[in-house]
Amino acid sequence: MAAYPHALVAYATAAGSTAEIAERIAWMLREAGAEAICTPVSPDLDPAGFDVLVVGSAVHNMAWLRPALDFLARAAETGTPVWCFSVGGLAHPYRGRLNRFMATGELQKVAQGFPAAFTPRDHRMFSGVVDMKGAPLWARLFYRLTGSGPGDHRDWVDVVRWARAVADELPRRGAGRHEQVL
């Protein structure tokens, strides 16, 4: 079996929830045979030199954090296959009509902030950890309306399932820089 290429799982986090999801994704890619590095985005993190990129960010006000967007702009210029994940506050974004509607809208709004003409291989929304300390009344009402509230709402089964799907699509080393083996 051919080895997977070098993969970078890069993320921007506000309180650590996204970092833990990124670590789980990297772990799953390693389990599938990839040589995966997991690290926070930074201005000096170079996306070149990796054969595959998985980039994620916490979502605040329907947008990725600025460091993740800056890194994604650099990553988009490399021509390397990129998978994206977002971590938001909805407890169960794909359960119930209101949550599905809001999660779909949030994912579309987030993608509007991506670099022009950039399309990731996939872009997935995961639930995160909701901390209501200091949250304004409108935020508390919003979370109550969506059936959410404070706590850890990450669905690790969903994260692992998505990471496995990404691993299944990774180009094999020796098959050409961006060529897929199906």
103-134 confidence digits (pLDDT tens): 566 677 788 889 988 999 999 989 888 666 76
pLDDT band at 60 (very low <50, low <70, confident <90, very high): confident
Question: What is the model's pLDDT at position 181?
Answer: 37
Question: What is the model's pLDDT at position 182?
Answer: 31
d(CA 4, CA 35): 7
Q: Are 115 and 76 in contact (CB under 8 A)?
A: yes
| pLDDT for 83 beyond 70 | yes
Q: Are 178 and 80 in contact (CB under 8 A)?
A: yes
pTM, to two decimals: 0.81
> Which residue has tokens 């170079």?
46
How far is C-alpha 94 from the geometric centre of its chain's CA atoms? 16
Question: What is the model's pLDDT at position 86?
Answer: 94
Domains of the chain: 6-169 (3.40.50.360)
Q: Are 77 and 118 in contact (CB under 8 A)?
A: no
Beta bridge partners of 56: 11, 85
d(CA 86, CA 77): 20
Question: What is the model's pLDDT at position 172?
Answer: 65
Q: Pick the more confident residue, 138 or 125.
A: 125
- Report the relative pairing of strands 123-127 and 6-12 from DSSP bridges: unpaired
pLDDT tens digits, 37-53: 999 999 999 999 899 99
- What residues have CB less than 8 Å from 77, skipping those under 6 apart? none
